[in-house]
């Protein structure tokens, strides 16, 4: 099988598992939505305060959602004894890419939902560049979540490390995403930072992933 | 086909995981020219999925989605194809695990304790599947505490004791 065919097979399996269990639908999305609603109540009702905090609220909600997403896409494979099968039947490249695309799709869905909620509840109009930030920022976080999620999931004593590792390493993407989603912010420096950081993170995680699989 | 026996904690699972390439050995080398699949009895499939979907999406990872239907039929669980794995009995779940092996037809199959929860018919089906895989060219390594039913099919009976592997 070609690499792309294997990646597609892993991704289809991810979709089939989610269709069957609806774990993301019932954990990550409600959690992120609740976060946005509570943030709106905490930061409002002044329109200026809501406008300033809207971007950050979206990206904190995405960050909060990375934990249930990592559990559904990565940790559950270990608790259900399916990780060994995936490792045996797919190459590290296909496994990383397939899992990454699964996590990315989940985080992108969370981002789209929370952005929509922010537009409605906070009554703000994010700049157009926020869409690009959403795509690239969730890609950076998905790369990190996939790599760190595997590292953490393969050692029972490391499970508490996921938030401790994802938050600092994902900070540049979160900051840039929040800034690019806020009206009136000069976009170029943040856009450059986000593009560069997403590219570096993706390349680094792709490179180290085979080593992370070793027991 | 080789049957591996040994007391609890003697290293059977470690041996199988080493053979499957899931563990890195500290000394020696391991060579495998194809797919080595390690399966723990009853594991290997996500419990939220239906039996048919789980076996098909797993077989699809090696481009053998079409082999899942015949594999389910071989294991006598085609009628359960639409049931979620989480609702199956332990024995039925082992059969679903074996269906993965039959569908994938790996180069090397390392099967960990498949006989524990199987009834008489389940053991017969296990022998049938292992015979089928053997004829298809799969090298099979089975770790078990109940080797009697498998030994007639085996080329070798290996025993792990005191950290050493000996031919019985």
ipTM: 0.88
* Paired strand residues for B161: B164
Q: Which residue of A has its CA nearest to B47?
A: A80
- pLDDT score recorded for residue A158: 62
Query: What is the Cα–Cα distance from A177 to A108, expressed in whole angstroms?
Result: 13
How far apart, in whole angstroms, are the C-alpha atoms of residue B43 and residue B96? Answer: 9
Residue length of chain A? 215
Least CB-CB distance to A88: which of B20, B45, B53? B20
Q: What pLDDT shows up at residue A106?
A: 93
Task: Measure in Å the smallest separation between the Cα of A199 and chain B Cα atoms.
Answer: 28
Contacts of A214 in chain B (CB under 8 A): 24
pLDDT of residue A157: 59
- Tell me what pLDDT residue A155 has: 64
A85·B60 Cβ contact <8 A: no
% chain B with pLDDT above 70: 100
For domain B2-167, give the CATH number: 3.40.50.300
Residue A204 corresponds to which tokens in the numbers above? 């680094």
Q: What is the pLDDT of residue A63?
A: 92
Asked if A173 and A194 count as a contact pair (C-beta separation under 8 A), the reply is yes
Q: Cβ distance B20 to B40 under 8 Å?
A: no
pLDDT tens sequence across A102-142? 999 999 999 999 999 999 999 998 899 999 999 999 999 99
- Torsion from C-alpha of A17, A20, A25, A28, nearest 10 degrees: -40
Task: Please tell me the distance from the alpha carbon of residue A53 to that of residue A181, in angstroms, as a whole number.
Answer: 10
User: Which chain B residues touch A if contact means CB-CB below 8 Å?
Assistant: 17, 20-24, 35-40, 42-50, 53, 57-58, 60-63, 84, 100, 104, 106
pLDDT digits (tens, 9 = 90+) for B9-51: 999 999 999 999 888 888 888 888 889 999 998 888 998 899 9
Q: What is the dihedral of CA A19, A95, B43, B15, to 10 degrees?
A: 180
A59 is in which domain, residue-wise?
3-213
How many domains in chain A? 1
Residues of A in contact with B45 (CB under 8 A): 80, 82, 85
Give me the residues of chain A with pLDDT under 50, please. Answer: none
Is B62's CB within 8 Å of A89's CB? yes
Bridge partners, residue B109, by sequence? B37, B140
DSSP output for A63-113:
HHHHHHHHIIIIIHHHHTT-HHHHHHHS-HHHHHHHHHHHHHHHHHHHHHH
| A12 Cα to chain B: minimum distance (Å) | 7
Task: Report the candidate in B84, B80, B11 with the shortest Cα–Cα distance to residue B49.
Answer: B84
- Nearest-CB residue to B57 (from A16, A80, A90): A16
Chain B residues touching residue A86 (CB < 8 angstroms): 61
Mean pLDDT calculated for residue range B97-117:
92
Q: What is the pLDDT of residue A102?
A: 93
For residue B3, what is the enclosing H or E element? strand B2-6
**Tokens describing residue A24:** 């993301």
Question: Are B63 and A1 within 8 A, CB to CB?
Answer: yes
Tell me what pLDDT residue A165 has: 73
Mean pLDDT of B74-88: 91
Residue B143 has pLDDT above 90, yes or no: yes
Q: What is the mean pLDDT of chain B?
A: 91
Contact A7, A95 (CB under 8 A): no
Structure tokens at B117: 């929860």
Cα nearest neighbour of A95 on chain B: B61
Q: Residue B122's pLDDT band (boundaries 50, 70, 90)?
A: confident
% chain B with pLDDT above 90 = 62
- DSSP conformation letters of A29-44: HHHHHHHHHHHHHHH-
Contact A82 B43 (CB under 8 A): yes
């Amino acid at each position: 099988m070609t690499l792309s065919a294997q990646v597609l097979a892993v991704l289809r399996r991810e979709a089939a598992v989610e269709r069957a269990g609806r774990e993301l639908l019932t954990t990550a999305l409600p959690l992120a939505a609740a976060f946005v609603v509570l943030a709106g109540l905490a930061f409002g009702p002044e329109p200026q305060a809501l406008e300033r905090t809207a971007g950050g609220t979206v990206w904190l909600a995405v960050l909060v959602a990375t934990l249930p997403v990592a559990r559904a896409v990565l940790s559950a494979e270990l608790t259900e004894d399916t990780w060994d099968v995936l490792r045996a039947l797919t190459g590290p490249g296909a496994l990383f890419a397939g899992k990454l695309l699964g996590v990315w799709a989940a985080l992108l869905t969370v981002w789209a939902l929370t952005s929509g909620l922010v537009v409605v509840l906070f009554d703000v109009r994010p700049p157009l560049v926020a869409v690009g930030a959403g795509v690239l920022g969730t890609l950076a976080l998905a790369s990190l979540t996939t790599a760190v999620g595997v590292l953490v999931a393969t050692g029972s004593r490391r499970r508490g490390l996921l938030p401790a590792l994802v938050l600092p390493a994902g900070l540049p993407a979160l900051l840039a995403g929040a800034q690019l989603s806020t009206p009136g912010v000069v976009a170029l420096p943040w856009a450059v930072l986000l593009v560069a950081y997403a590219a570096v993170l993706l390349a680094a995680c792709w490179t180290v992933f085979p080593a992370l699989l070793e027991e | 086909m080789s049957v591996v026996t040994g007391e609890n904690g003697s290293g059977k699972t470690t041996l199988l995981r080493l053979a499957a390439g899931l563990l890195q050995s500290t000394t020696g080398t391991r060579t495998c020219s194809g797919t080595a699949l390690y399966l723990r009895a009853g594991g290997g499939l996500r419990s939220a999925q239906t039996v048919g979907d789980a076996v098909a999406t797993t077989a699809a990872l090696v481009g053998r989605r079409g082999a899942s239907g015949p594999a389910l039929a071989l294991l006598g669980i085609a009628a359960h194809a639409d049931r979620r794995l989480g609702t199956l009995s332990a024995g039925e779940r082992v059969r679903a695990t074996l269906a993965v092996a039959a569908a994938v037809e790996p180069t090397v199959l390392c099967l960990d304790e498949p006989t524990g929860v199987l009834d008489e018919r389940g053991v017969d089906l296990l022998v049938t599947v292992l015979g089928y895989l053997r004829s298809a060219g799969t090298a099979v390594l089975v770790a078990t505490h109940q080797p009697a039913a498998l030994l007639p099919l085996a080329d070798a009976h290996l025993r792990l004791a005191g950290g050493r592997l000996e031919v019985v």
